Amino acid sequence: MNEAHMETVTECLRTYLSMNYDEARTMPPEFYTSETQFEQEKERLFRSQWICLGRVQQIPRPGDYFTTTTINEPLIVVRTKPDEIAVLSNVCRHRGTVLAEGNGNTKSFVCPYHAWTYNLDGQLRRAPLLPNRPDFDQHNCRLPTFSSEVWGGFIYVNLDGTADPLSPQLDGLSKLTQHYHMDDMVELHAETSIWDTNWKCLTENFMEGYHLSTVHRKTLHPITPTRLCSHFPAGEGYFGYFSVFPTDLPRRGKYHPDLTDEEQQRSVMFAVPPLHVAGLAGHKMSYLYLQPESAGTVRVQRGLAFSDPNISEHDFKNAVDLFEQTMAEDNNQLDRLQRGLQSLYLGTAPLAPANYEGNVWDFYHYLARKLL
């Protein structure tokens, strides 16, 4: 993206901040295709905001851990104590080898290169054959620990330690979701794949109901048609909408008894930007953790968690099939979108009313606040 295009994107974001939903327009295509824009997002969003890494149920016991990478930063997410989770650098302090792969349970992390050994909290325990020397104190050597929080059963990290606490930013969302008890939902399905699209396009797609009755005509339209979508006001650290079920739709799965009739009749579609989106219904929750790799590619970790951990095999298969089919439909559409965004003749266009594309506008406002 040349300097003129960068100025156009910046000016759009600045202008959009003072406009309301009735005036909402799309961003110019460079916003989604520029590697210069992507580099700015890495520094101002991915390193400095709260990024979702996984679910607490992935590490139920002390010593349980899983590894992941965010913006080329290898991480270990580990349960250090029954009530304590830490996010550690997954890089040995000696010569930089990645310490652990995958997931498991351990009492310590041992570097496969030279056997430097670290406690679960990251403290160096052993550096074989290394003599005492004045320029290195083993007792003060440890793996960096990153700021982390748990909300709704999800684990978040802030890499540079500058973000304001997350939970207060989500107070309004917590009130909307409290009766669903998503903390107790159990993840039973997880997949990862690479999508050829800009990460913002995927966030916008998950968070708008305008496409439900076209892209998902046979899958989601009978369950959550576009016409029943209802936008709710965005908060400091979230935005979303209600995806409402037709009144004649049979109830699916096991619901928590705390749910009101109105809550049973809808899903709460929410984003904790920049890289976490979810759909919360009475019986299950779907969610994506996005790991952008370039302006045009994103690693998509997706999961399904259920209120009933003993869901029947038939119902579980149906839920997974529906989720993965809709994800495949979105993937196909977003591939077409990314190709279209390369056009030199594409400008901006009006967004649909708030109930249908209001969250795209909320997302722009969030990005403007963080990027400008």
Are 115 and 178 in the same domain?
Answer: no
> Of the candidates 107, 139, 162, which is a domain's last residue?
162
> Of the candidates 162, 177, 210, which is a domain's last residue?
162
CA distance 279 to 228: 15
Are 184 and 273 in the same domain?
Answer: yes
Percent of the chain with pLDDT over 90: 95
Please say if the pLDDT value at position 160 is more than 70. yes
Which range of residues forms the domain containing residue 110?
57-162
pLDDT of residue 71: 93
Query: What does each C-alpha distance from 362 to 27, 44, 95, 184, 325 come to in angstroms?
Result: 13, 18, 44, 29, 27
Are 136 and 210 in the same domain?
Answer: no
CA distance 356 to 350: 12
Are 209 and 228 in the same domain?
Answer: yes
Query: Could you tell me how far CA 101 lies from the centroid of its own chain?
Result: 21
Are 208 and 105 in the same domain?
Answer: no
pLDDT digits (tens, 9 = 90+) for 275-304: 999 999 999 999 999 999 999 999 999 999
CA distance 256 to 35: 45
pLDDT digits (tens, 9 = 90+) for 19-64: 999 999 999 999 999 999 999 999 999 999 999 999 999 999 999 9
- Amino acid letter, residue 171: D
**Are 87 and 76 in contact, with CB atoms under 8 Å apart?**
yes
pLDDT digits (tens, 9 = 90+) for 306-331: 999 999 999 999 999 999 999 999 99
Instruction: State the CATH number of the domain containing residue 362.
Output: 3.90.380.10
Are 114 and 90 in the same domain?
Answer: yes
pLDDT digits (tens, 9 = 90+) for 343-353: 999 999 999 99
pLDDT band at 4 (very low <50, low <70, confident <90, very high): low
Are 282 and 139 in the same domain?
Answer: no
Are 42 and 75 in the same domain?
Answer: no
The count of structural domains within the chain is 2
CA distance 165 to 41: 20
pLDDT of residue 252: 78
Q: What's the order of all strands across the beta sheet hosting 84-89?
A: 51-55, 154-158, 145-151, 84-89, 73-81, 64-70, 103-105
Instruction: State the CATH number of the domain containing residue 148.
Output: 2.102.10.10
pLDDT of residue 75: 98
Are 177 and 298 in the same domain?
Answer: yes
